[in-house]
C-alpha cells in the first residue's frame, strides 16, 4: 500500500513539474504544446561532446607547446 502511494505521489509531482515547465515555455496558449524532451537531451549531449572535444584539442596543443619549450 505504501509503495503504491509513493509511486503515485512521485508521478503526480513529475506531472506537475512538466505542466509548470510547459506553462513557462509556451505561455497561456489554448493549444497545449509539449517540448520534445528527447530532442533536448540529444542537443545537450552534442554540446557536451563538442565542449569535451574542444577541451581535449586545447589541452593537446598546450601540452605540446610546453614540451617543445616554445611557451
Alpha-helical regions (H) of the chain: 2-26, 37-68
Distance CA 25, CA 37 (A): 13
pLDDT of 20 reads 87
Per residue in 12-59, pLDDT tens?
999 999 888 888 877 766 555 556 667 778 899 999 999 999 999 999
Q: Say how far apart CA 29 and CA 21 lie, in whole Å.
A: 13
Residue 31, classed as helix, strand or coil, is coil
- What is the predicted pLDDT for the residue at 52? 98
Q: Is residue 61 predicted with pLDDT exceeding 70?
A: yes
Spell out the domain ranges in the chain. Answer: 1-35, 36-71
pLDDT of the residue at 26: 75
* Cα–Cα distance, 52 to 34 (Å, whole number): 30
Q: Tell me, what's the pLDDT at 23?
A: 80
Amino acid at each position: 500500500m505504501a509503495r503504491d502511494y509513493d509511486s503515485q505521489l512521485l508521478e503526480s509531482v513529475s506531472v506537475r513539474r512538466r505542466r509548470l515547465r510547459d506553462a513557462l515555455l509556451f505561455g497561456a496558449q489554448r493549444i497545449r504544446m509539449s517540448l520534445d524532451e528527447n530532442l533536448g537531451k540529444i542537443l545537450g549531449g552534442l554540446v557536451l561532446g563538442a565542449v569535451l572535444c574542444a577541451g581535449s584539442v586545447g589541452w593537446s596543443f598546450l601540452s605540446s607547446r610546453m614540451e617543445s619549450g616554445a611557451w
